[in-house]
Structure 1
Amino acid sequence: MLPRFAPLLAGLGLTGLAQAAATHYPLTVDNCGKPQTFTQAPQRTVTIGQAGTEMLYALGLGDKLAATSLWFNNVLPEYQMQNAKVPRLADNEPSFEAVVGKRPQLVTVQFEWMVGAQGVVGTREQFDELGIPTYLLPSDCEGKDNLVGADGTRLQAFQVDTIYKSVSQLAAIFDVQDRGTALNTELRSRLDSARAQLADKYLAATSALFWFSSADLHTDPYVAGRQGVADFMLRTLGVRNVVESSEEWPTVGWETLAKANPTWLIIARMDRRRYPADDYEKKLAFLRSDPVTRNMDAVKHDRIIILDADAMQAGIRLFSGLQTLAAAFASGKAAQ
């Protein structure tokens, strides 16, 4: 099921929601321990990360985007027309020069490894020197050390409230608080709906493994670690993650994973092609042919769920991803 947030915001008319107070500028937002001040609603925004891009689209702010970058999946269908009007700087990470060349009044960032102390695009200080505020999605900094592990290490379990916080803060920055309230209401409703699908199911003995990608199909895969975003999805639905590492996406050998023998395999579908294993059909072929993986119960019984890669990230797609997983766990049938 795909979220239909734009029609929601248009059709709701915000009926039944309290009228949010207008933003009073200058507005200072504490973002990942670094205050960012806005003297007005940004008119030109560059996004580095699909989660932030689609969050802004869902808030009805597509006309404020000067450029986007870092995509895992194609844009959601309801945003295709808007997205077609926005230049894409890069499918993966853009250069610092390309970003500042768009003269943004805000840069929103999904991952700290893109813009941070060791950012491949640049540091927040570099943008500060040019007077460009940066907004890092709190989900990637709160309770997390991004200097340990390839994709960072969780110091505490991911909290879904960080997504709601992003929505509320971005809505305040752009002075569209009513839209933020409506969007968060819809996201919470989707989470409740996913849980409700499993209300009468006993899943204490059910386990799962998220396989995001692999640098090479015959090397150790990148899988979801304990306490991260994907692990939150399993915990929310009462299912155990067989991976114990606190890294966000550690590499673990197939022999170890096969020994853990998860009930379900959840593999990422993406349109990105950085690695061969980004192609989910190649993942499936590997699982069914490799002498180690083909004997896993989930493979033998076709308990393999295909899920958009961005539904495994801290953005609005996570909530439809939860509903997809809940439907599969409830029925015992794989979703693709």
Structure 2
Amino acid sequence: MKKSVLLLLAIVCLTMTSAFAKDTQGITVDVCGQPVTFPTNPKQVIVHDINMTEMMLTLGLDDRIKAISGISGWYKTSERSQVLLKRYHEISPKSPTLENILVQSPDMFFAGWNYGMRMGGEVTPQSLARFNIPTYILSESCIHQNKAKNVGAAAENQAANIALLYNDISNLGKIFQVEDKAHQVIADWKKTLERIQIEQKAKQVKPLKVFVYDSGDDKPFTAGKFGMPTALISAAGGKNIADDIEASWGTIPWEIVAARNPDLIIMVDYNQQTSQDVMAKLRAIPAVANTAAVINNQIITLGYEALTPGPANIHAVEIISAQINAMHQQKQSH
């Protein structure tokens, strides 16, 4: 009996020691190929942009967000963004300064390259580390860091994929000790996407060509190889006509759009213009007026948060897939 009690005490002590070590040492996860240690279960987090804020909310981490940034200054005036702006203090309408962040005394910063941080800028993981603030970097944006560090061609040439979103959710689950929730969220998303992919494969048709139009008159600003829309379009049964452009987002000539003749246009909706406005603009551009998408008036609108890495990506795939299916049915009926 005495031995059993002593053994039980030893186990309890060992468990408490392990828990204490975990709390004092923090949680280490891979961030853009490098190990980064975060305090166990951060409680004062600054989150940049609507898509990353929604990742936190999806995991039930509402109360861990101390402040947000980068929403009101980029025309993201959707109902969802307005709810966030009412709920959380926005420290900067666009990219925050180092001072904006330090005055909040956060225990973590969640952002990405070209999502609140830029290579060589004032706010970087290195500049924040000097003040003991660890940074979690959005996985989709790691490509910018890889290129700057001249990482091998294999890393540079990998197109965006939805696994990058899963990686962020999994890592956040570890950092905030909500791993079960993270696993469930990912499992649910995978089920949805698997269903869509099975439906698309059953049709045995060639993927429709899709053009993402963000903005621009002289040249369109669109999503390239490393941008999340490329992954979403592929999952929905389409092909991004700019998926060979070595960029996340960038401009291409209208002549390239015309030559690749998209079947469908995805308009990034900033609530500044309607799809009818965009179509009228495209009809007035001789280079693209005769593309299939413009002639057939095939356009859908998706919000910024649906096309940047975040929970809204899954519903975006459903919307794109539904439109592609409707277009296939239209062709068959004719």
- 1:76-122 Cα distance to aligned partner (Å, 9 max, x none): 75x97666321112332122211221111000013356335323x51
Instruction: State the partner residue of 1:258.
Output: 258
Counterpart among 297, 308, 313 of residue 313 in structure 1: 308
- In the superposition, relative to structure 1, how do residues 314 and 122 fare at CA in structure 2: closer, same or farther (>3 Å)? same
SS in structure 1 of the partner of residue 251 of structure 2: coil
- In the alignment, is residue 126 of structure 1 matched against residue 127 of structure 2? yes
In structure 2, distance between residues paired with 1:205 and 1:39? 45
Amino acid at match of 1:326: S
Amino acid at match of 1:265: I
Instruction: State the partner residue of 1:95.
Output: 97
Instruction: State the partner residue of 1:219.
Output: 218
Shift of 1:201: 2.2
- In the superposition, relative to structure 1, how do residues 83 and 227 fare at CA in structure 2: closer, same or farther (>3 Å)? closer
Larger Cα Rg: Structure 1 or Structure 2? 2
Amino acid at match of 1:295: N
- In the alignment, is residue 182 of structure 1 matched against residue 180 of structure 2? no
In structure 2, distance between residues paired with 1:74 and 1:146? 32
Instruction: State the partner residue of 1:208.
Output: 210
Q: Is the 8 A contact 1:51 1:316 kept in 2?
A: yes
In structure 2, distance between residues paired with 1:156 and 1:206? 22
Q: Is the 8 A contact 1:62 1:82 kept in 2?
A: no
In structure 2, distance between residues paired with 1:83 and 1:186? 28
Q: Is the 8 A contact 1:49 1:68 kept in 2?
A: yes
Amino acid at match of 2:280: A
In structure 2, distance between residues paired with 1:113 and 1:164? 18
Q: Is the 8 A contact 1:69 1:92 kept in 2?
A: yes
Q: Is the 8 A contact 2:160 2:231 kept in 1?
A: yes
In structure 1, distance between residues paired with 2:165 and 2:85? 22
Instruction: State the partner residue of 2:233.
Output: 234
Structure 2: segments with no counterpart, 5+ residues: 1-18, 150-154, 329-334
- In the superposition, relative to structure 1, how do residues 84 and 113 fare at CA in structure 2: closer, same or farther (>3 Å)? closer
Shift of 1:260: 1.6
Deviates more, 1:195-204 or 1:91-100: 195-204
Q: How does 1:1-336 map to 2 (within 5 A)?
A: 24-25=22-23, 26-71=26-71, 73-74=76-77, 77=80, 84-111=86-113, 114-115=116-117, 117-119=119-121, 122-141=123-142, 145=146, 147=148, 154-204=156-206, 206-214=208-216, 218-243=217-242, 244-271=244-271, 282-332=277-327
Q: Is the 8 A contact 1:163 1:314 kept in 2?
A: yes
Shift of 1:172: 1.3
Shift of 1:321: 0.6
Matched length: 299
In structure 2, distance between residues paired with 1:55 and 1:80? 17
Shift of 1:58: 0.6
Structure having the higher helix fraction is 2
In structure 2, distance between residues paired with 1:187 and 1:132? 31
Shift of 1:206: 2.2
Deviates more, 1:197-206 or 1:228-237: 197-206
Shift of 1:212: 1.9
Shift of 1:237: 3.2
In structure 2, distance between residues paired with 1:195 and 1:323? 10
Amino acid at match of 2:124: T
Percent identity of paired positions between Structure 1 and Structure 2: 23
Instruction: State the partner residue of 2:11.
Output: none
Q: Please, what TM-score do these two structures have when normalized by structure 2?
A: 0.79
- In the superposition, relative to structure 1, how do residues 224 and 42 fare at CA in structure 2: closer, same or farther (>3 Å)? same
In structure 1, distance between residues paired with 2:139 and 2:225? 19
- In the superposition, relative to structure 1, how do residues 59 and 76 fare at CA in structure 2: closer, same or farther (>3 Å)? farther
The structure with higher relative contact order (CA 8 Å, sep 6+) is 1
Shift of 1:183: 1.3
In structure 1, distance between residues paired with 2:178 and 2:284? 51
Amino acid at match of 1:91: P
Shift of 1:176: 1.4
Structure 1: segments with no counterpart, 5+ residues: 1-21
In structure 1, distance between residues paired with 2:164 and 2:294? 34
- In the superposition, relative to structure 1, how do residues 39 and 113 fare at CA in structure 2: closer, same or farther (>3 Å)? closer
Structure 1's consecutive aligned runs of 4 or more residues displaced over 6 angstroms after TM superposition are none
RMSD of Structure 2 on Structure 1 (CA): 2.9
Instruction: State the partner residue of 2:6.
Output: none
